[in-house]
Amino acid sequence: MARMMITSGPTRQYLDPVRYLTNGSSGRMGRSLAQAALDLGHQVVIISGPVEINYPSRAEVVPVVSTEDLLDACQRVFPGCDGLIAAAAPCDYRPIRVASHKIAKTGNPLELQLIETPDVVATLGSTKRPDQWIVGFALETEDQRLRALVKLEKKSCDLMVLNGPAAMNSRRNQVEIIDRKGSLIDALAGPKEEVARGILQVIQKRLVAPFQSCFPSSAELAAVASRQN
């Protein structure tokens, strides 16, 4: 059994108290991955941006709003986990200035200056322990495998799940899973629940089983600690 952290849904970057930048993400892929992980007997902590869907009741859910909140929550939770599945679509830019009052219309164009938000997976990847694994998601429209492989390397992921823009806000998904060498491990298509079960099978075989034969899992360490207390 492993303890898995799953990031899910979009994040929001506010311009003023009512308007925000975001990404089109429903959280359905994160929910399906959480359910598939729970069905295999794993513990699941979901760090989720604002979504309309409900997550499985057996998962622990940490709600967040912005990409900075997502990073803070992940940095708090990840040390107690064996692996991360990063299915969130964090907003990559934030306005340099956030207005404290609703920005009034003037009839003129409104110029926004944006800067990049932190990359959550890259930050966690750069400090992860040897006994922890990370599975990233890449949504690409061109040169999909090459770009996904570059992201896998840059963000220190162990596997990358590659999907197209049709996945956004949809009930179905079509994915390819690539490893650190760029080899295609699996290609899956169907309802997100079915695709998530396939992804979890790959994670189980390639990451959970090999890592647990070398290191005790976070879930096992927590169980030993609670028996000693």
Nearer to ligand C5P, 69 or 220 (CB): 69
Stretch that binds ligand C5P, among 38-46, 82-90, 184-192, 217-225 (CB under 6 A): 82-90
Out of 23, 108, 163, 169, pick the active-site residue. 23
Residue 31 binding ligand C5P, by CB under 6 A? no
CB closer to ligand C5P out of 22 and 220: 22
CB 67 within 8 Å of CB 123: no
- H/E stretch holding 158 reads none
Interacting residue with ligand C5P among 51, 88, 149, 199 (CB under 6 A): 88
Q: Is 54 a catalytic residue?
A: no
120 binds ligand C5P (CB under 6 A): yes
Query: Is residue 167 classed exposed, middle or buried when 0-12, 13-18 and 19+ CB atoms within 10 A define those classes?
Result: buried
Task: CB nearer to ligand C5P: give 73 or 88.
Answer: 88
Q: Compute the distance between CA of residue 149 and CA of residue 91 in angstroms, rounded to an integer.
A: 21
Q: How far are the Cα atoms of 31, 95, 96, 144 from residue 115, in angstroms, in the given order?
A: 30, 6, 6, 25
Query: Quick check: helix, strand or coil at residue 136?
Result: strand
The residue from 137, 162, 199, 211 that contacts ligand C5P (CB under 6 A) is: 137
Q: Which CA distances in Å does 228 have to 46, 143, 221, 223, 225?
A: 28, 52, 11, 9, 5
Q: Give me the active site residues, please.
A: 23
Residues at the interface with ligand C5P (CB under 6 A)? 7, 67, 86, 88, 90, 92, 117, 119-121, 136-139, 151, 155
